[in-house]
A and B are shown apart, each in its own frame.
Chain A
């Protein structure tokens, strides 16, 4: 079974609108971390936001927020007030356990295009 599932291969959003990128995960661990990364056309992987499994509040980082629904095992990324520079691939990832070195599992990504 896939550890991380991203069901939206491509998404379009109008500039200044909000967009939600979906991510579901599969784990039996009680302790885990959820992450989102952005990969622009230049190719680098940029860390965006982190949510711990024990965090009671949804994580926020500027215009990014993570809609964490533990019972549904979903960790959707919400980008508010989209900008042209948000056009990129977005990857959801999970780390099981609390160990620094634990393996990360990545989804297949969602390509976001922001339309002017």
Chain B
């Protein structure tokens, strides 16, 4: 358990409305990630953060923005939700399992199921 929570866990929204998903971690990890999971695509990286106010784009960043004003919170915003953004969204942190061996694993939050109608 890496102390990651996501809110809300489920959300239904209408096309064109803004939506913000929250990821909260309690272990002071520097790196945080947002993924979306869709059938046939596995998990794809949307955005990630390597520190407070330091973020970068992932593979599928169009239509999404992020913010990280505190170490523990990483927010994902859909400025104007579209039906193609219906998905399950996972937040993750990167944690060292064996720093000497370079073993860094990602641990995931419980996910948020977002439906855009």
Binding site for B on A (CB under 8 A): 4, 6, 31, 33, 35, 37, 43-45, 47, 50, 52, 55, 91, 93, 95, 98-104, 106-109
Binding site for A on B (CB under 8 A): 30-31, 33, 35, 40-45, 48, 50, 58, 88, 90, 92, 94, 96-97, 101-108, 110-111
16 CB contacts below 8 A, A to B, read A33-B102, A33-B104, A43-B111, A44-B110, A44-B111, A52-B102, A52-B103, A93-B106, A95-B104, A95-B106, A98-B102, A100-B30, A101-B48, A101-B94, A104-B33, A106-B43
Which interface residue of A52, A101, A109 has the most chain B CB atoms within 10 A? A101
Residues of A near B110 (CB, < 8 A) are: 43-44
> Which chain B residue has the least Cβ–Cβ distance from A109?
B42
CB-based closest 9 A-B pairs: A45-B108, A98-B102, A101-B31, A106-B42, A106-B43, A108-B42, A100-B104, A101-B50, A100-B94
Partner of B105, one of A47, A91, A98, A109: A47
